[in-house]
């Protein structure tokens, strides 16, 4: 008869957490509050979208959106809103607002396919409207990477135009994001919708004709 590995035993601290009903109730309250903030953000973005002409791909439907929650984004819970949301064939045109527990908020525009060429042109023609807004260009090989910092993102600042051009030149897609620490007022003051809308508006020089 095999003897179970000690690695399978729960420590006293782990048992305390499993038995802490208040912890799980608090988690559910937080999930609902974040969901409500994302829903409020979606309503605000829909209002912004209704009065803005964007470089949208063929078949774009301004009513499509998605709110998702999960438990294991690198072992941490997450909730996100995709709005506007367009995933059709090779075309992606989506603004994702992600609350990644244990990490940060991320507000990110993902563009792939037919709109990339014009968006890249806008990026350089209107570079100084985009620079200095707290935005960062993803350096990752996939747009599903949500970490920031060296090797992951490059801040869009006025002095980095040539460096950013080199990154974008060979890409058929891009992701530009703003990262907000969870201990900032965006969360404690319920300002997630405001920060999300502000981020989307800061991207309009990139996304408009």
| 35 in a structural domain | yes
Instruction: Summarize pLDDT for 171-184 with one digit per residue, the tens.
Output: 899 999 999 999 99
Between helix 21-50 and helix 192-202 the angle, nearest 10°, is: 40
Q: Are 18 and 10 in contact (CB under 8 A)?
A: yes
pLDDT band at 169 (very low <50, low <70, confident <90, very high): confident
Number of domains in the chain: 1
- What is residue 93's three-state secondary structure? strand
pLDDT at 1: 40
Name the 3-class secondary structure at 87. strand
Is residue 116 pLDDT above 80, yes or no?
yes
pLDDT for the residue numbered 3? 43
pLDDT in tens, 69-78: 999 999 999 9
The domain in which residue 44 lies consists of: 9-207
Residue-level pLDDT at 5: 46
Q: Residue 1 falls within a domain, yes or no?
A: no
Strands 76-82 and 153-155: unpaired
> Does residue 201 form part of some domain?
yes
User: 195 lies in a domain?
Assistant: yes
Say if 151 falls within a structural domain: yes
pTM (two decimals): 0.92
Q: Is residue 100 part of a domain?
A: yes
Higher-pLDDT residue of 9 and 40 is 40
Distance of alpha carbon 159 from alpha carbon 149, whole angstroms: 18
Distance in angstroms (rounded) separating the CA atoms of residues 93 and 113: 9
| Gyration radius (Cα) of the chain, Å | 20
CATH code of the domain in which 79 resides: 3.30.930
């Amino acid at each position: 008869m095999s003897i179970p590995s000690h690695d399978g035993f729960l420590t006293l601290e782990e048992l305390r957490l499993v038995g802490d009903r208040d912890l799980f109730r608090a988690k559910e309250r937080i999930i609902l509050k974040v969901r409500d903030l994302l829903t409020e953000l979606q309503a605000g973005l829909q209002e912004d979208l209704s009065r803005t002409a964007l470089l949208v791909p063929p078949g774009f439907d301004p009513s499509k959106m998605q709110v998702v929650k999960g438990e294991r984004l690198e072992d941490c819970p997450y909730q996100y809103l995709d709005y506007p949301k367009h995933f059709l064939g090779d075309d992606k045109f989506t603004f994702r607002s992600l609350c990644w527990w244990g990490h940060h908020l991320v507000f990110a525009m993902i563009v792939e396919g037919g709109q990339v060429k014009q968006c890249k042109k806008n990026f350089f023609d209107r570079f100084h409207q985009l620079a200095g807004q707290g935005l960062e260009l993803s350096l990752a090989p996939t747009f599903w990477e949500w970490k920031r910092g060296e090797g992951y993102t490059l801040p869009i600042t006025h002095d980095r135009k040539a460096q950013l051009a080199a990154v974008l030149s060979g890409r058929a897609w891009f992701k530009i994001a703003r990262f907000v620490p969870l201990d900032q007022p965006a969360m404690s003051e319920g300002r997630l919708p405001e920060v999300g809308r502000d981020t989307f508006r800061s991207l309009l020089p990139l996304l408009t004709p």
